[in-house]
Structure formats: C-alpha cells, structure tokens
Amino acid sequence: MVKHKVLIDLFCGTGGFSHGWIQGGGGIAVSVDNWEDALKNHAFNHPDVPVLNLSLGGDLQETAETLLAYLATYCAAHGIEPEDLHFHLHGSPPCQAISTASHSRASADGYFMVQWFIDLVALMNPDSWSMENVVPVRKFLDSLPTPIPYVVANANDYGVAQKRKRVFAGEGWVLKPTNEGLTVQDVLPDLIGSTLEPAPYMAAKKRWTKLGLDKPFPTVTSCSPSQIRIVSRRRKAHEEPQSYTIDKPAHTITQVNHIVEEIDEDTEEITKRGFTLSEAATLQGWPDLQFAEGLYAKSKRVMVGNMVCPPIAKVMCESL
C-alpha cells in the first residue's frame, strides 16, 4: 500500500513549502511559525491545514510532544494507521543572519536555529526530513561532527523562472530537476508595456547607457525583450546595481523589490515600477498566491521573498 505522506512544516512562513507539498500529493499535520501575519496568510491559502503560533527554539522534548500530538490528531482524523504513515519533518530556520542576500550582519542566532532543528530531527526520528537554508549554511553543515547530506538546488531547474539557489539538507528524498530554463517573459508575458509613470529623475530622457550601469543595453526594437531591464539590487552601497533582461530567469527574489525599467525607443523615455506582489509570487513559483485582508504591504513582501519555491517541495514530496 502507498503510504500517506504527512508533513510537519516548521518556520512555515506563508507556506511556500507547505503549498508545494500539497501539490505533490502530501498532507499536513501542522505548520508552525511565530509570525501571526504569515500564519494568517497561510491559513487563508490553505484553510484545511492547522497552523500553530509557537516560538521555536525552546525545549526539544516539549516541542516534539506538541508536534507529535498534531500528527496523531491528523492520523486519527484521516484513518491513517502507523504502518501506513510516512512522516516528513521540514524546517526553514530563519536565514537572515547568514544570508549573503541580506544587509544584516551575521550573528550566531542563524546557526542556533539550524542546530536546534537538527537536534529536533534526531529526537523525533521522522521517516524523512528536509531543511532549507541559504547557501552559506554549507560551511556550518560541513563543520558538524556527523555529516549531514545536502544539495544546492537552483529553482530554475524546477520550473521556476528564477535562479534562486538554496541548500536543502536532509534524508529520504531526491530532488531530480524537472523543467529547466524558464525565463521571466515565459511566466510574465505581459511585462512589456506595463510600466507606469515615468520616474521624475528619468524625465530628462536619459538613455540607459548613461545611467552608470556597467552593461549598457543593446539597441532596442519595438518587440525586443531588451526593451525591459530589471534592476535587482545594490549588493553594497558603493557598487553598481545588478540587472537582468526578461529573456533570462530572474535574480533571487527577496523582500527588497526589483525595479522594472522600460525604454520607449521613439522618445527614449524610461518608465519604471517595482514588481507587483503577484508578479513576485509568480517568479517564486506560486502564481495564485492570495493575500488575506489587513496585512501590511511590507509583510506581504517579506513573506513572498522568504518562501521556498513550491515546485521544489512538490518534487521532494513526489520523490518519497
């Protein structure tokens, strides 16, 4: 008999991982975070999934007991016998402290939560488990006395129009690439012509080549993808911004919005705007993400920038 794949999703945010898991055919016993806005939005998108507001990182035994009670409740409600259960434990411990895509300074806290999650896995002994984090976490994982297997997955290899790289550590699954090489224009075909008001400083009709970017744009034609350039971010205050064109996958989507710049080839006027939340979610691989009433725009932007690309979680679930 095919086992029921049941997830407990820790540090779940708005549920990028949870969402992909459901798409992969799995069920969810509980999704946990300590950010009320994210849980509200998780519940809005997945009304059948229990969410728990709990500050993780405390007593391991107590946490395990709480989570196992949710698992038992789920199994009882769905008539799942122990021998028919495949229990998967996932965690995305906070990564800001060690992310290279963050301006915040490194602190020990990021590693504390990673270590705490690894200790919880050892205590709960799930049938399979996964931990998602930023690429620099490899140094920490490599330094552990007992090696932990991990892969670096590029979302663009899983049908996501973004070259987001994240570490997935854990056991019991494989991440086999599915649909490689999607570009921004594949998933956002209406971007050309969609920019709004010209920005005031652009009103002087400067060409992109005069904007100080290291890679000037080629000559544009009326239907060329090169009409649009997307500025992803300044890595450091004194560095030039990075940019990409829509015939490429997006740079990593974070809580700092990318700027879509469009040039009118006749007037040379440049208009620009940020990605809408829906566009950013689409580039994360969750095009129909919904937002609950009453959330601040900043909160929504953080949730979207934080999330695991659902197609990766889907592939993981399907591989079990």
Tokens linked to 284: 């994360």
Angle at 118 between CA 115 and CA 119, to 5 degrees: 85
Question: Least distance (Å) from ligand SAM to the CB of residue 304?
Answer: 9
Question: Least distance (Å) from ligand SAM to the CB of residue 182?
Answer: 19
Question: Least distance (Å) from ligand SAM to the CB of residue 178?
Answer: 18
Question: Least distance (Å) from ligand SAM to the CB of residue 319?
Answer: 18
Which residues, 6+ apart, have CB-to-CB distance to 155 below 8 Å?
A: 162, 163, 164, 165, 166, 285, 309, 311, 312
Q: Which is nearer to ligand SAM, 220 or 302 (CB)?
A: 302
Q: What is the DSSP letter of 10?
A: E
Question: Least distance (Å) from ligand SAM to the CB of residue 14?
Answer: 5
Q: Which is nearer to ligand SAM, 55 or 146 (CB)?
A: 55
Tokens linked to 281: 């979610």
The one-letter code for the residue type at 203 is A
Asked whether the beta carbons of 46 and 28 are under 8 A apart, the reply is yes
Q: Which is nearer to ligand SAM, 44 or 192 (CB)?
A: 44
Beta strands per DSSP E along 141-187: 150-154, 165-171
The answer to whether the Cα torsion of 65, 124, 155, 187 is positive or negative is: negative
Distance in angstroms (rounded) separating the CA atoms of residues 181 and 312: 15
Asked whether the beta carbons of 70 and 52 are under 8 A apart, the reply is yes
- Residue closest to ligand SAM, measured at CB: 16
- Judged by the rule CB under 6 A, the positions of this chain that interact with ligand SAM are 11-17, 33-35, 38, 55-57, 92, 94-95, 306-308
SS3 56: coil
Q: Which is nearer to ligand SAM, 27 or 259 (CB)?
A: 27
Question: Least distance (Å) from ligand SAM to the CB of residue 36?
Answer: 9
The one-letter code for the residue type at 66 is T
